[in-house]
Amino acid sequence: MASNFEKSHCLIDNLKARINKLAFKTQDTTKLFQRGDQVEVASQEWGYIGAYYTATIVSPIGNYHYRVRYKNIVNDDKSDLLVEIVKASEIRPVPPKHETLLVPEDIHMYDIVDVFDNDGWWIGFISGRHEENYKVYFPTTGENVAYSPHLFRFHQEWNKGNWISSN
């Protein structure tokens, strides 16, 4: 019979694999976005994979690309918000907001959450608690960081035109 230690390591390994799969997933490109639509762009840059950044569609470019303006990322000279061309497969709609906030009573060990940090939403799982904060482990970066729960949101995945809750 497996010990609790073995069971928790198996669960953690499964969560790591699940989050890595989500982080490297490309989006369904059948959704066509229009100028002015609010979206999230999945980072494909090493060290930032697993993060989604809020942006606005500036214009479509052909069938498979969009010009976007980020909400929280500035250009190199910091004179304006960053505008760049991204693949349609890297874009999803902004997830719907939940009617209820993610409060400490709703946060459990190993829950998958999104954490707002470094100007974007990062996918991780609850790995522990430290005073009023919760530790979140990020499989794509290997970091385990404590955050206040007000920086969390329920994690949801865009799948074939629908939002699916992961918990």
pTM above 0.85, yes or no: no
C-beta neighbour count of 109 within 10 angstroms: 13
Query: Could you state, in chain order, the average pLDDT of each consecutive group of 10 residues for the chain (167 residues)?
Result: 58 70 57 90 88 96 93 91 93 81 81 93 94 93 94 88 81
Query: What are the φ/ψ torsions at residue 30 (nearest 5 degrees)?
Result: -75, -20
C-beta neighbour count of 129 within 10 angstroms: 13
| E-assigned strand segments in 9-161 | 38-42, 51-61, 65-74, 81-87, 91-93, 112-117, 120-130, 133-138, 143-147, 152-154, 156-159
C-beta neighbour count of 95 within 10 angstroms: 18
Q: Is 7 helix (H, G, I), strand (E, B) or coil?
A: helix
What is the predicted pLDDT for the residue at 20? 62
C-beta neighbour count of 117 within 10 angstroms: 16
CA distance readout (Å), 118 to 20, 104, 134: 19, 23, 17
Place of tokens 């499989």: 139
What is the predicted pLDDT for the residue at 1? 46
What is the predicted pLDDT for the residue at 100? 55
C-beta neighbour count of 100 within 10 angstroms: 8
